[in-house]
Amino acid sequence: MTNDDGGPTRRWTIRYEGGTIPLTRGGRGRPLVLCPGLNSTQADLAELAALLRRDHDVVTFDLRGHGLASASDRYSFAAFLGDLAAVLAELRRDGTVPVLVGYSLGADLAVHHASEHPGSVAGLVLIDGAVPVPEPFVTPDVLPEFRAMWADMVERQRAARGTARQVLLTAGQILAVNVEIDEVRAGILDRYRRIDVPVTMIASTSMAGRGTDGHVARFNRNWRAGVDRLARAQPRIAVHRLDADHGLVTSHAAAIARIVRRTPTVPGGR
């Protein structure tokens, strides 16, 4: 099989905690791992991956319960972090030290992994995630809306069952992970201080959408305030803001790929 740059594409599966994680690798250039977020799959990131393969050796994969990965009886931040660690351990077998690009939850996983495993990555690119927001998103006043939104999402996702875009989590499991993400982001600035590789942040300006009704404006203010907070606390981090919502990985894939190409890395990735 070939990818968009004409080179070969390899697909294989690794086993972790009794489950399976599918990987895809293709392209030419410096190695890069693209980590999806909650409710997203490597198939959802296909356009961005194809653009990056023009000048990167790109590895994509699915987190447990997503895409072609196996289901699990444990969906938590720690469990997803273990999935990422298993993928990077697989790549280290041939000496690969990649740029790690994470989207949404994948960005938070990237920050945690890099802070705990010095020397395991050559650089980080964080796409609309790992933002030290001043306030949590999942609060009692919005809980009914979130429950209804995720129940509706799960119902719509049934049509994707058995495909590369399936998500197997229940609405309750999605809620629990989002509560965890709020807790993780409350202390994530500490993690940034332990990272010794170049970091680039790509953030949307309207994460929750363009509307001004309900909680949208408050969520967007909270997100922008978190990005500003990170820029002040860590001026070494390159921050890029895109006029987009949280779907920027598809709506602004070309712009993201251009930023990734300019991302500095530490020497030694292969």
Indicate whether 232 pLDDT > 90: yes
Least reliable range by pLDDT among 31-40, 168-177, 211-220 = 211-220
Residue 4: band (very low, low, confident or very high) from pLDDT cuts 50, 70, 90: low
- pLDDT tens digits, 22-73: 999 999 999 999 999 999 999 999 999 999 999 999 999 999 999 999 999 9
Residue 100: band (very low, low, confident or very high) from pLDDT cuts 50, 70, 90: very high
User: Under a CB-based contact definition with an 8 Å cutoff, are residues 21 and 74 in contact?
Assistant: no
Indicate whether 118 pLDDT > 70: yes
What local confidence, expressed as pLDDT, does residue 270 receive?
A: 44
Q: At what angle do helices 171-186 and 105-116 cross, to 10 degrees?
A: 50
Beta bridge partners of 100: 33, 124
Q: Which CATH class is domain 9-261?
A: alpha beta
Domain extent listing, the chain: 9-261
**Nearest of 46, 91, 69 to residue 270 by alpha carbon:** 91
